[in-house]
Chains A and B, each alone.
Chain A
C-alpha cells in the first residue's frame, strides 16, 4: 500500500554558531537558521518510506519559507509553514489544527527539537489527534496497514506494532539525513509551499528568559604530584 505521510519539523537557530553575550543571553543576531536535527531524521525516514512504498510526504513546519525550501529539497512533496512561537503544548495544538484537515496514514516527528529538548510535541500531538503514538523509533517498517518500530530503550530495545494511522517519533540513529544537491534544490522551487497564520493558543508554559549556564572555575592550584593525588582522592 502507498503511504500518506506528514512530517512535523521545526526551524531553529544553528546552535553551533550561537555565542553568549555579556548579559549571559544567547546572541542570535546574524545566526543562520536550520531544520532541527532529529526532525530531519523524521523527514529522511518519510522520504525513504515513500521511495519504498509510494505515497506522498507533506512537511508541516514551524518556521519560514527558507525552511520549507530545505524540506522540499530533501524530498518532501509539499510544505505548509507557520511561524507562531509557543511551547510544546501550543505547538501540538497548532499542528493538530493543521493536520486534522489533511489526509494521512503516518505522522513522523523528531524525538525532540535540539533547542528545547522537551520531547513532548510528538506525544501531545498524537494525543490531540486521538491516534496511537510510538516514541524513540530507531527503525520503522510498514506491514499491511500496520507500522512496526524498534523503540530505543535505555538498556536495549523493544519491537512495537500499531495500526495506522499512527504517530512515530524517531531518534537520530534511524538514518543519516540526505544533504540536498543543487539539482534537488532547484527542483524544489516548483513544489507547493502554503503559508498559514494560525492563532497562538494559550501557552501552558511561558518562557520569560533564556540564560546561559554559568560554570565557575574551581581555581585549585596544584603544586606537585602529591597535591594532585590529594585532589583526585578527595573527588572520588
Chain B
C-alpha cells in the first residue's frame, strides 16, 4: 500500500496551484461580487488544459484520469472558495468524460473541441420540478418522430444556464424515452440551448456560488439531430449513474480544496491572534477544535482520493465492480461537503467579527459548500441510500 501521489501528480498539483494563484486568484472577489466568471479567465483555464480535462486529446482535452482531475478540482476550489469556478470545471470534467465515452463520433467532433477550448459550456440537466433525487420520475420526454428526435419538458436547478445561453454549448440531458419502464426507460441526449427554437430559460437568485448561474430550461418541441443521442436508447440510467460517480468524486474534491485552504488560514490566524495576552491557539477550546477538524479533513481526503483512484483503476484496469465504485464515491460525497462546511464554519468563528465580513472571504465558502449538502450532484440522503443498498443488498433498498 502506498498513500503518496506520483512525482507527476505532485508536479501537476504545483503547476495548477501556480496557475490558479497567478491567473484565478486576482479574480476571485470579482467572480463572487459580479456573479460571473470572466470569459477571458475561462479561456486561460482552457489554454492551460483545465476545461474538459478528462476529455481525450483528439478533442483537445488532456485525457486526464480522475486522480489528476481531483487534484485540479481541489486546487481550483482553494483559490475560489465560493465554488463557482470549481462547479464550472467539474461539471465539464465529469460529464465531458461521459460524453467522450458514449456520445456518437459525429457529436463528439461537433461539441467537445469547443468545450476544451473554453468557447462553450457543457453541463448536466437532470433535476426537474418534481425533484432531483428521484430519477425514475423524470418526465422530460424524448420521442422519435419521422426520423427526428423531439424533446418536451423542463429542467430546473441546472448549473450554467446563463453561461450556456450566452457562450453556447449545452447539456447532457436525462430524458424519459419509455414511461412504462421507469429507470429502464431513460435515455441520455445532448441538448444545445443557445438560440434554439423551443428553448426558454430563467435564472434563480441563489444564496451562494454566485459566479456560476443556476436556472430553469423549458423545452418545448425542441428538435435535435439523431446523433445527439448519447449511447443506446433506454440505457440512460446506467450512463447517468456512471456520470454521477465521476462528478460526485470531483464535487467532494472541490469541497476538500475549499476546506483545506480555510483551515490553513485559520491555523495561521489562531497562532497570530492574541487574546488576554495568549495566542488563540493555546486555548484548548480552539486547539482541540482545530485538531478535530484537521483529522476530519484528512479522513475525508483519503475517501476522496480513494474514490478517484478506484475510478482510474476501473477505467484503466477493469478493476472493481460498479457496486464497489458506487459505495466508495457515495462515501466520499457524503463526508466531504459536511466536513468542509464544519471546517469553514469553525474557522469563520475563530476569526470572530472579521470572519463575518465579506472581506474575510469565508462566508462565500460556507454558502458555496452548502449547495453540496443540499444536494447538487446528489443529496446526502441519497448517498446514504446508495451506501445502504451496496452493503445490505438491493432487497433492502427503501425505494
Question: Could you say which residues of chain A place their CB within 8 Å of the CB of B18?
Answer: 179
Query: A66 in the interface, Cβ–Cβ < 8 Å?
Result: yes
Q: Find out whether the CB atom of B48 lies under 8 angstroms from the CB atom of A179.
A: yes
Q: Find out whether the CB atom of B22 lies under 8 angstroms from the CB atom of A179.
A: yes
Q: Find out whether the CB atom of A183 lies under 8 angstroms from the CB atom of B8.
A: no
Query: B278 in the interface, Cβ–Cβ < 8 Å?
Result: no
Q: Find out whether the CB atom of B49 lies under 8 angstroms from the CB atom of A66.
A: no
11 contacts between A and B (CB under 8 A): A32-B14, A70-B11, A73-B15, A181-B48, A182-B12, A182-B53, A183-B49, A183-B57, A183-B62, A185-B12, A185-B15
Query: Closest CB-CB distance, A83 to chain B, in whole Å?
Result: 16
Mark out the residues of chain A between 181 and 211 whose CB falls within 8 Å of any chain B CB in the assembled complex.
Answer: 181-183, 185-186, 189
Mark out the residues of chain A between 12 and 61 whose CB falls within 8 Å of any chain B CB in the assembled complex.
Answer: 32, 34
Mark out the residues of chain B between 21 and 68 whose CB falls within 8 Å of any chain A CB in the assembled complex.
Answer: 22, 48-49, 53, 57, 62, 64, 68
Query: B284 in the interface, Cβ–Cβ < 8 Å?
Result: no
Query: Closest CB-CB distance, B59 to chain A, in whole Å?
Result: 13
State the CA gap A70–B14 with chains docked (Å): 10
State the CA gap A129–B227 with chains docked (Å): 65
Q: Find out whether the CB atom of A66 lies under 8 angstroms from the CB atom of B10.
A: yes
Known: A65-B7, A66-B7. Is A181-B14 also a contact (CB below 8 A)? no
Question: Which of A32, A66, A180 has a CB less than 8 Å from the CB of B15?
Answer: A180
Chain B, interface size category, equals 10 to 19
Question: Could you say which residues of chain B place their CB within 8 Å of the CB of A10?
Answer: none
Query: A151 in the interface, Cβ–Cβ < 8 Å?
Result: no
Q: Find out whether the CB atom of B8 lies under 8 angstroms from the CB atom of A186.
A: yes
State the CA gap A70–B53 with chains docked (Å): 20
Nearest chain-A residue to B13 (Cβ)? A32
Q: Which residues of A contact B (CB under 8 A)?
A: 32, 34, 65-66, 69-70, 73, 179-183, 185-186, 189
State the CA gap A102–B14 with chains docked (Å): 31
Q: Which residues of B contact A (CB under 8 A)?
A: 7-8, 10-12, 14-15, 18-19, 22, 48-49, 53, 57, 62, 64, 68
Q: Find out whether the CB atom of A182 lies under 8 angstroms from the CB atom of B49.
A: yes
State the CA gap A162–B386 with chains docked (Å): 71
State the CA gap A183–B68 with chains docked (Å): 11
Q: Find out whether the CB atom of A69 lies under 8 angstroms from the CB atom of B49.
A: no
Question: Could you say which residues of chain B place their CB within 8 Å of the CB of A69?
Answer: 7-8, 11
Question: Which of A66, A70, A182 has a CB less than 8 Å from the CB of B68?
Answer: A182
Query: Closest CB-CB distance, A41 to chain B, in whole Å?
Result: 14
State the CA gap A180–B8 with chains docked (Å): 11
Most-contacted residue by chain A among B12, B15, B57 (CB, 10 A): B15
Query: Closest CB-CB distance, A87 to chain B, in whole Å?
Result: 28
Known: A182-B64, A183-B57. Is A73-B11 also a contact (CB below 8 A)? yes
State the CA gap A66–B10 with chains docked (Å): 9
Q: Find out whether the CB atom of A189 lies under 8 angstroms from the CB atom of B15.
A: no
Query: Closest CB-CB distance, A11 to chain B, in whole Å?
Result: 12
Question: Could you say which residues of chain B place their CB within 8 Å of the CB of A183?
Answer: 49, 57, 62
Question: Could you say which residues of chain B place their CB within 8 Å of the CB of A70?
Answer: 11, 14
* 8 interchain residue pairs of minimum CB distance: A181-B49, A182-B62, A179-B19, A179-B18, A180-B15, A183-B62, A179-B15, A185-B11
Most-contacted residue by chain B among A66, A70, A182 (CB, 10 A): A182
Question: Could you say which residues of chain B place their CB within 8 Å of the CB of A179?
Answer: 15, 18-19, 22, 48
Query: Closest CB-CB distance, B191 to chain A, in whole Å?
Result: 29
Nearest chain-A residue to B72 (Cβ)? A182
Query: Closest CB-CB distance, B397 to chain A, in whole Å?
Result: 39
Query: Closest CB-CB distance, B263 to chain A, in whole Å?
Result: 16
Question: Could you say which residues of chain A place their CB within 8 Å of the CB of B10?
Answer: 66
Q: Find out whether the CB atom of A66 lies under 8 angstroms from the CB atom of B11.
A: yes
State the CA gap A221–B298 with chains docked (Å): 46
Query: Closest CB-CB distance, A188 to chain B, in whole Å?
Result: 8
State the CA gap A182–B8 with chains docked (Å): 8
Question: Could you say which residues of chain B place their CB within 8 Å of the CB of A32?
Answer: 14
Question: Could you say which residues of chain A place their CB within 8 Å of the CB of B22?
Answer: 179
State the CA gap A32–B7 with chains docked (Å): 13
State the CA gap A14–B362 with chains docked (Å): 26
State the CA gap A179–B16 with chains docked (Å): 8
Question: Could you say which residues of chain B place their CB within 8 Å of the CB of A181?
Answer: 15, 48-49, 62
State the CA gap A73–B48 with chains docked (Å): 13
State the CA gap A53–B19 with chains docked (Å): 28
Most-contacted residue by chain B among A32, A34, A179 (CB, 10 A): A179
Nearest chain-B residue to A182 (Cβ)? B62
Question: Could you say which residues of chain A place their CB within 8 Å of the CB of B19?
Answer: 179
State the CA gap A182–B63 with chains docked (Å): 9
State the CA gap A34–B17 with chains docked (Å): 13
State the CA gap A109–B49 with chains docked (Å): 29
Nearest chain-A residue to B18 (Cβ)? A179
State the CA gap A65–B10 with chains docked (Å): 13
Given contacts A182-B49, A183-B49, 20 further A-B contacts (CB under 8 A): A32-B14, A65-B7, A66-B11, A69-B7, A69-B11, A70-B11, A70-B14, A73-B11, A179-B18, A179-B19, A179-B48, A180-B15, A181-B15, A182-B15, A182-B53, A182-B68, A185-B11, A185-B12, A185-B15, A186-B8
